[in-house]
Structure 1
């Protein structure tokens, strides 16, 4: 191992927030040569919808996974740095763990590396066990908007995985303390970080989990966002900093990351307990480094261990078409015109189907959550989606519908050549099986180790590798993202009244994100403590305000709160749909923040 300078310090390196998305070769080898105790990466997420889990598709092509693995395997050989990758391949299914083992074995043999010990941990759950837990009343929905689980959904799920905690990792590390690489299936994102620290004698699980929650996204909480990050774990605190030149962590950027894609920032539930952050403190150590103290972990009672289940199914086949409408005469009557087309399609088809017309420009992104239903745009992007029992049927629906969009008449029509502009031919696209989440539930009173079996692979290597040239290779130029100059006013709204401003004028971050497949979370953060306090004390950002802004009832609001450590306001609501399902308008839910931009606030500065 490339050791830390002290037994009271661990250096953890994460080269990328989602394994397989590539990282800087120079930064990677500079970090390894400087000395790190472990390379740990997370590879999984439900952010992009259910297709990976339902259709066994990796988050990136196999070649990209091989490329990232090659660097880690080489670091194991040249510097004895152990590596851990969780949720390998995206959804954490067993076949992707097995694929990683196969790739590593090939790399060891091909490159003449030394023999290595590789551990694979599986995370798929037997459906019979889930059904028994259902009968025992030990399965419950995970969050707002999640329906009760029924056996029929368990049966038709392609596969079901569970998020493992630290226990399977700790068992594997204890039995094979000289491991080189661990490849794990679906995991609670901070688990491998917390487990490695505990394995090395750092027993404060609050700090361990807090560090893991930040590091599993790489340097995403840096300013500007970047990839590679280092965490230095010590007995009563840890430091975190990015490795991209010019990037930095700030107290606010780090604290605010605990809001990211979570229902609430102060209590983060995971397998085996809750990470409590009310007492956490954030200290700027130097230009790029923030120090974190005070996080706590509340363990579940003995025998009450819980894990989250994730499952997805195939629900028919779908096809799409897309294009745009610019004619203002047509746009002025587009709702009734589309209704006429849909009625025409149904009159021509004698089998069951679903048809969804997305009107990007008219409530297309936010759908029923959109508060502004009166603005008439200059042009509208149309995305039509059909679903039916077979691909042929789904294709037929979009062919008929797209033809209707092209040639259906409307009142006052002057442009008789056609109504519809499409950029790509063929416009109609067969999409294949349609995936949907159908399991997102908590399973109670489980064995946190027995659920996740592991296997040790002794990779035979010739140990004949000879390094030629520098390890770091040639530095690639950084990707420079130039932010536009701040607007003096927003183009779609008039200036705010005298003495007032828009929330978007004074927020440093204002964003939306899915918090699992069934919830939408909204974050507003500030850089100025005085501004934050005035917003907090204004009484404007309330449950009632969120309900009005997003056209929802009070019962659909999960949490509305201010969180002082990040100078942030947070609201989480039941989204009213399942992420990535049929008719989805914003799978990532990253464009649901706009109504908050224009909330009028008292001008907070003197």
Structure 2
């Protein structure tokens, strides 16, 4: 590699907001590429199931305009992965359409490469028949029926599709579902950076300033060279330490020394970290090993049923003190009522009660104790038919408003914060696939569409 490569990651997720003041400081570092992730499975299967974006188009356009201005001024590529939250074809088209609007408004001539990652159902079924679909832990069952149930399947790409698009002269690369790390490692690898430092730098940058000790006051740049990389925290108050940089290998990763990516494995067991100053951390010793088989992770989502929720609030010292007893009694009574009044068996519906304000996040793992003033009770009902879901919700309504403790002689009045207290969520989705697909060509599962504005 003739010179070091600077990768600017202005955010850990496009659409989450942009600090313009810090971004302008970061541009003074003269990055060679602006790259970022735009998606995640953190918010559940709905976005993949529907193909919709979590982010507002207005917010995305405002951020994209800033990035496209900066890209043009510096003459560097803009690389964005997992467009539209889930990396669906519609998500790529959404961001592509916004870029075309901005290019017209700014009178920019740019070459935009769109990379689509949605998979044809028949292709995945054939890969299963060929023995090229392998499970990840925890192992989930898979057969043709599971694949056919998925409303949408994406393959998670590595660096090769990005590199292919950049080699075609793309100024802006907009990718479907991709590993966060690949989005940031692709440009350095294309320009000759060693794979170990490039992948490790990408992993460190994937969540933007989360690898610093001042995530609300920083942006991050990784400068990669032949021997390693230097993490630079940009911003007046920005700070980074060896500990903050090292710790990011634990993020969404079960082994802090090993990271499995498409085409290989990053090993940082021998990596060494030291502080150059309060804003810069030097990392050396990261190693990359090419895998015998090239695999891409598959993500698929399917409709699990039709869902509605109902919210009630429980107050009063007696009901708060004996809340667990009250909720268990309510649950038992309602299940009997559903079977008796609606003739719906236990296998034909899913009913959950969430105690909002009482260990609803951690359950039995909660370590902080204290007596809440009120507890929100969220009933979640899912059945295969929307009408059946509504029947159960209607049956629940008066009970969540007036259900008493077993020894209470008077009917209490709990509180509905909304009118009506129930909300129809429509189709509910679940993740169906936790598998990888073995492929021979890293480009084969993906489709490319390259457009030059004004051409």
Compute the TM-score of the two structures, normalised by the length of structure 2.
0.92
Residue 187 of structure 2 corresponds to which residue in structure 1? Answer: 196
Bigger helix share: 2
> Which shifted more, 267-276 or 30-39?
30-39
- Inter-partner Cα distance in structure 2 for 1:374 and 1:103: 48
- Inter-partner Cα distance in structure 2 for 1:281 and 1:403: 62
Is contact 2:92–2:115 with CA below 8 Å preserved after alignment? yes
Is contact 2:306–2:384 with CA below 8 Å preserved after alignment? yes
- Inter-partner Cα distance in structure 1 for 2:61 and 2:369: 51
- Taking a change above 3 Å as real, the CA distance of residues 22 and 417 of structure 1, as seen in their structure-2 partners, is same
Is contact 1:354–1:387 with CA below 8 Å preserved after alignment? yes
Residue 366 of structure 1 corresponds to which residue in structure 2? Answer: 362
- Inter-partner Cα distance in structure 2 for 1:320 and 1:43: 29
Residue 572 of structure 1 corresponds to which residue in structure 2? Answer: none
Q: Map of 1:71-90 to 2, 5 A cutoff?
A: 71-90=66-85
Q: Map of 1:148-547 to 2, 5 A cutoff?
A: 148-174=141-167, 176=168, 178-202=169-193, 204-226=194-216, 228-301=219-292, 304-331=293-320, 332=322, 333-334=325-326, 335-351=328-344, 352-360=348-356, 364-367=360-363, 370=365, 379-413=374-408, 416-418=411-413, 420-460=414-454
SS of equivalent residue, structure 1 residue 341: helix
C-alpha offsets along residues 497-518 of structure 1, whole Å, 9 cap, x if unaligned? xxxxxxxxxxxxxxxxxxxxxx
Give the drift of 1:247.
Answer: 2.4
SS of equivalent residue, structure 1 residue 97: helix
Is contact 1:14–1:230 with CA below 8 Å preserved after alignment? yes
- Inter-partner Cα distance in structure 2 for 1:57 and 1:124: 13
Is contact 2:310–2:421 with CA below 8 Å preserved after alignment? yes
- Inter-partner Cα distance in structure 2 for 1:415 and 1:221: 56
SS of equivalent residue, structure 2 residue 22: helix
- Taking a change above 3 Å as real, the CA distance of residues 280 and 423 of structure 1, as seen in their structure-2 partners, is same
Is contact 1:395–1:428 with CA below 8 Å preserved after alignment? no
Compute the TM-score of the two structures, normalised by the length of structure 1.
0.70
Is contact 2:404–2:412 with CA below 8 Å preserved after alignment? no
- Inter-partner Cα distance in structure 2 for 1:107 and 1:376: 53
SS of equivalent residue, structure 1 residue 41: strand
Give the drift of 1:171.
Answer: 2.0
- Taking a change above 3 Å as real, the CA distance of residues 441 and 415 of structure 1, as seen in their structure-2 partners, is same
Bigger strand share: 2
SS of equivalent residue, structure 2 residue 378: strand
- Taking a change above 3 Å as real, the CA distance of residues 185 and 371 of structure 1, as seen in their structure-2 partners, is closer
Is contact 1:329–1:412 with CA below 8 Å preserved after alignment? no
- Over aligned residues, Cα RMSD in angstroms? 2.3
- Inter-partner Cα distance in structure 1 for 2:243 and 2:236: 20
C-alpha offsets along residues 98-156 of structure 1, whole Å, 9 cap, x if unaligned? 2222221221112222x111111111122222112211222122222x31211111111
C-alpha offsets along residues 291-332 of structure 1, whole Å, 9 cap, x if unaligned? 11111111112xx11110000011211111123323343452
Give the drift of 1:255.
Answer: 0.8
Is contact 2:401–2:416 with CA below 8 Å preserved after alignment? no
The number of aligned residues is 447
Give the drift of 1:395.
Answer: 2.8
Residue 23 of structure 1 corresponds to which residue in structure 2? Answer: 18
SS of equivalent residue, structure 1 residue 22: coil
Is contact 2:34–2:71 with CA below 8 Å preserved after alignment? no
1:127 is aligned to 2:111: no
SS of equivalent residue, structure 2 residue 255: coil
- Inter-partner Cα distance in structure 2 for 1:270 and 1:87: 15
